[in-house]
Amino acid sequence: MNNKKYFIKDVIYCLLVLGIFFLGVIYGTVNNASMGAVVRTKLIYFELPLTIVIPVIIYILFGVVLYIAFKSKYIKVNKFFIISTFALIIMVFYLGLLSLFKDNQHLINLNNIEYHADEFIERLKAFFDVTIMFLNIFLLFNLVKGNTRVKHLSLYIYCGGIILFAFVAVVYSITNELELYKYVISNLDAFVDKDVTIMFSIKSFFNVGNAFSHFCNFAIMALLVLSFEFKGKWIMLFSIPFFFFVLAGGSRTGTLALLTLYFIYIVYLVFDLRKKHKIAFYISLSLLVLLVVYLTLETYVFKQITYTSNKGKVYTISDMFELLNNVLVTNRFRIFLNIFNYYTPLDYLLGQGYQIDMYSVRSFGDFNYHNSFMEIFMAGGIPLSIFYVSIFVYLVYLLIKAYKKGNKQIIIMFAILAIFNIQYSISESVTIFFNYDIGGTMSYLFVVPLLFSLENKSGTKLTT
């Protein structure tokens, strides 16, 4: 009877933690989409009551979970816990006060009158969002636990929920946008020429196609994690249909990042053969090397493979890479470089404020900075950048611990996720740990599987 009681308690605890996390990310996502009150993707606009009530609910639930965690001794109160928690509290005060009071009027486009004055409610939302963002960081590193009675239930629910959400979005899209698919298939040049009348027309129930692509991408990441967790490489086969919807949603950044992910995963599959299937390993490795050598020579020397657009322009593989580099890197770098033209030394030092930094970039016609690394700097300047570096240094430390324990699979999985995220982040705002959209949800996959792999002395499924 006691075992059943403890099992139910752990399940409730698990669901409470996931509920807090998702409610916080939803709050941040809605705020980000409506910040500035005049942006083109406004979904739900929180008025003052909801702006206050939702954070209060999150705080209460967080207090309940924290009480259970301390009572059940899920949290180890040591020197590192005290120092890291203190650092989080300092960042809450710093970024919260910055978001409430930082004057950024000199960074606003003078020709865009609508953005010249921000409302106090927007500042209040940003302040609450800062607190929730750091609560979620604390939650990920301290409160998400793979208890022995529920195994890794929270990870399975999380990944399953993301995959199910993306699947529903795909079904909705096919059901309601079938004619658009036919149109896009007959106009594939849009992906190269960025014909906005065709690109982003497929968007499922999202306001923009890019969001549809991002969540399909995230479902693929969840499938990747599950393939390592269950040691089932076949699970990645379910990611292939999602890939086509990433492409259909118009995200070139997401498509290229996925191609890189698949390539690295194939390399991993090839080298995974070397112990038990040496002949298959050498054959596969030889074919892979030949393919890479051929494509390299074709790109830079032969240039025989071409694509002719409907406009009659001929592209080689090299031309395609140059075009995509200009579109995804060069053209997007000008977004934050343009804002830097108006920066003062104080702006470089402190940043503009979390979420409040959306005013400046949106006043110049861009929805966000299209660069996750710069978005960290824009929001919190040098202090927030240092804080982020410290988090990733800690993650590397945990990876080293996992390696010493012999958990090589988690190292490989984390490397694939990291390379994917870095490439994605160069030209998209998918900032890990930021409390909205893909960035907020992606942070779970970076932290939780790694912590689970270290939690039990006997290791977890993410072992060799």
Q: What is the pLDDT along the chain (464 residues), one digit of tens a residue?
A: 466 777 777 888 888 888 888 888 888 877 776 665 444 434 455 666 777 888 999 999 999 999 888 888 888 888 888 999 999 999 999 999 999 999 888 888 877 766 655 677 888 888 999 999 999 999 989 888 756 567 688 888 889 988 998 999 899 988 988 887 777 776 666 555 555 445 557 788 777 657 788 888 989 999 999 999 888 889 999 999 999 888 888 787 888 889 889 999 999 998 888 878 888 888 888 988 898 888 788 777 777 776 666 666 666 767 677 766 666 667 788 888 889 999 999 999 999 999 888 888 888 888 888 889 999 999 999 999 999 999 999 999 999 998 888 888 899 999 999 999 888 888 888 888 887 777 778 889 888 888 888 875 443 444 44
Contact (Cβ atoms closer than 8 angstroms) between residue 65 and residue 17: yes
CA distances from 217 to 242, 363, 418 (A): 7, 29, 14
User: Which backbone phi and psi does 316 adopt, to 5 degrees?
Assistant: -90, 175
Q: Would you call 47 exposed, middle or buried from its count of C-beta atoms within 10 A (0-12, 13-18, 19+)? A: exposed
Domain ranges of the chain: 2-455
Q: Closest Cα partner for 246 from 219, 224, 227, 228? A: 219
Identify whether the C-beta of residue 176 lies closer than 8 Å to the C-beta of residue 203: no
pTM: predicted TM-score of the whole model, two decimal places:
0.86
Let me know if 383 is exposed, middle or buried by CB neighbors in 10 A (0-12, 13-18, 19+): middle
The CA–CA distances, whole Å, from 58 to 16, 133, 286, 332, 360 equal: 10, 11, 54, 36, 29
Within a 10 A sphere around the Cβ of 266, how many other Cβ atoms? 14
Provide the residue count of the chain: 464
Residues in contact with 392: Cβ distance below 8 Å, sequence separation at least 6, in sequence order:
none
Interaxial angle between packed helices 2-34 and 437-455, expressed in degrees from 0 to 180 and rounded to the nearest 10 = 150
Select from 203, 230, 215 the least CA-distant residue to 413: 230
